[in-house]
Amino acid sequence: MNKVRIILLLIATVIFVTLYKYSLNYMRSDNVKTVTDPIPKTILYWNAYWSEKDFEIGFGAEPFRTCKYKHCFVTNYKTFKPIDEFDAIIFHTPTYNPRRDGKPSRRNERQVYIFHNMETPVTNTVNFKNFNSFYNWSMTYRLGSDIINRYGEFIEEKSNYTLPSVQVIEKKTKLVAWFVSNCKTPSKREKLVEEMKKYLPVDIYGKCGTFKCQRRKGDNKCYEMLEQKYKFYLSFENSFCNDYLTEKLYNVLKKNVVPIVYGAGNYSLSAPPHSVINVVDFDTVKQLTDYLKHLDKNVTAYLKYFEWKKKFKVVKQNRACGICKKLHEPLKNSVYDDLKSWYWGKKGEICKTELMIMEK
């Protein structure tokens, strides 16, 4: 009996020692992890992005979960910590009113103020007078921004995509569609459409036309109708400004419809190869419409505009990732002393307001 007790005691001792060592090692490894983990960069939304308090990015750590650089945290609570302890403060400049929204009461030299704007100079006037030497970084659609924000992007990703059949294309009984609510624009796109209508039919949906399709935010119904009935869509920007591209392009690229683009974006960088028809590649409107008629009659040539889908995929850009990545780079002294010159160009060259194609 004594032998059994001794054996049981030895077994219990071995188990206890093993568990103690495991517990000790676990606590040590946990402490090391706590010490070596990067301290999260904290970001404050100073004012709302239009009506969106979360900037359409999100709150907390969740927006950064899938990013390469994950250690960031974002809030719009100005009392979350002392104002001068935030690593970055983002201002949505089109709606920022210092009298209403106030200005940060304190600022430290390692803190960055970010100028955020997704609108063009010709569609959104910004008061620059009191903001020279105020902002450290820009966060816009411009390729020269410190943080580049895009409405979409394309990535290389092989898929099992198969081209639509000839029968499917032949069921597209209409040629060109356009969803639009802004009827008079700096780019004069509406004038271009009127010229196009002299040579072929263009179905205009919304406030500026006679066709109707009720669209709600997040509703894909109109784009499904577009894909079923039409071969082409007018992805015409309201402003002809450097690098400016909007969801008008990326929403259509996801469908089996060919976008006809008119804007000053770099489409060779911003769209997959041979995926769009660029208005400025033609000398006249008639040349453009003749080419569309050619594609309408030649299914093989038309289908070549979808070959890119076998190798690439259009995705929505995760804007949170660019912010967190930039904040984890070595901090350099940076300030916009003359914000107006950067925004408009020193000679106002960033945007053009004349029609960029011959009408005849």
Could you state, in order of their start, the residue ranges of all structural domains in the chain?
Answer: 37-149+318-347, 154-316
The reply to whether 37-149+318-347 and 154-316 are identical in fold is yes
Coil/strand/helix, residue 219: coil
81-128 pLDDT, tens per residue?
A: 999 999 999 999 999 999 999 999 999 999 999 999 999 999 987 878
List the structure tokens of 16. Answer: 């206890």
What pLDDT score does 346 carry?
93
Contact, 243 vs 264, CB < 8 A? yes
Residue 33 has pLDDT above 70, yes or no: no
Residue that the structure tokens 């205009």 belong to: 204
Residue 247 has pLDDT above 60, yes or no: yes
For the domain made up of 37-149+318-347, give the CATH fold.
Rossmann fold (3.40.50)
List the structure tokens of 331. Answer: 């901090």
The model carries a pTM of 0.85
Residue 31 has pLDDT above 70, yes or no: no
Contact, 45 vs 54, CB < 8 A? yes
Instruction: For the domain covering 154-316, report its CATH number.
Output: 3.40.50.11660
| Pairing assessment for the beta strands 351-352 and 230-236 based on DSSP bridges | unpaired
Confidence of residue 20 (pLDDT cuts 50, 70, 90): very low
| Count of residues in the chain | 360
Residue 181 has pLDDT above 80, yes or no: yes
Distance CA 232, CA 255 (A): 11
249-303 pLDDT, tens per residue?
A: 999 999 999 999 999 999 999 999 999 999 999 999 999 999 999 999 999 999 9
119 is catalytic: yes
Distance CA 144, CA 356 (A): 23
Nearest residue to 71 via CA among 52, 87, 57: 87
Coil/strand/helix, residue 17: helix
Distance CA 339, CA 325 (A): 24
Coil/strand/helix, residue 37: coil
What pLDDT score does 124 carry?
87
Looking at per-residue pLDDT, the higher value among 29 and 143 belongs to 143
Looking at per-residue pLDDT, the higher value among 360 and 172 belongs to 172
Active-site annotation holder among 62, 119, 329, 354 = 119
What pLDDT score does 217 carry?
72
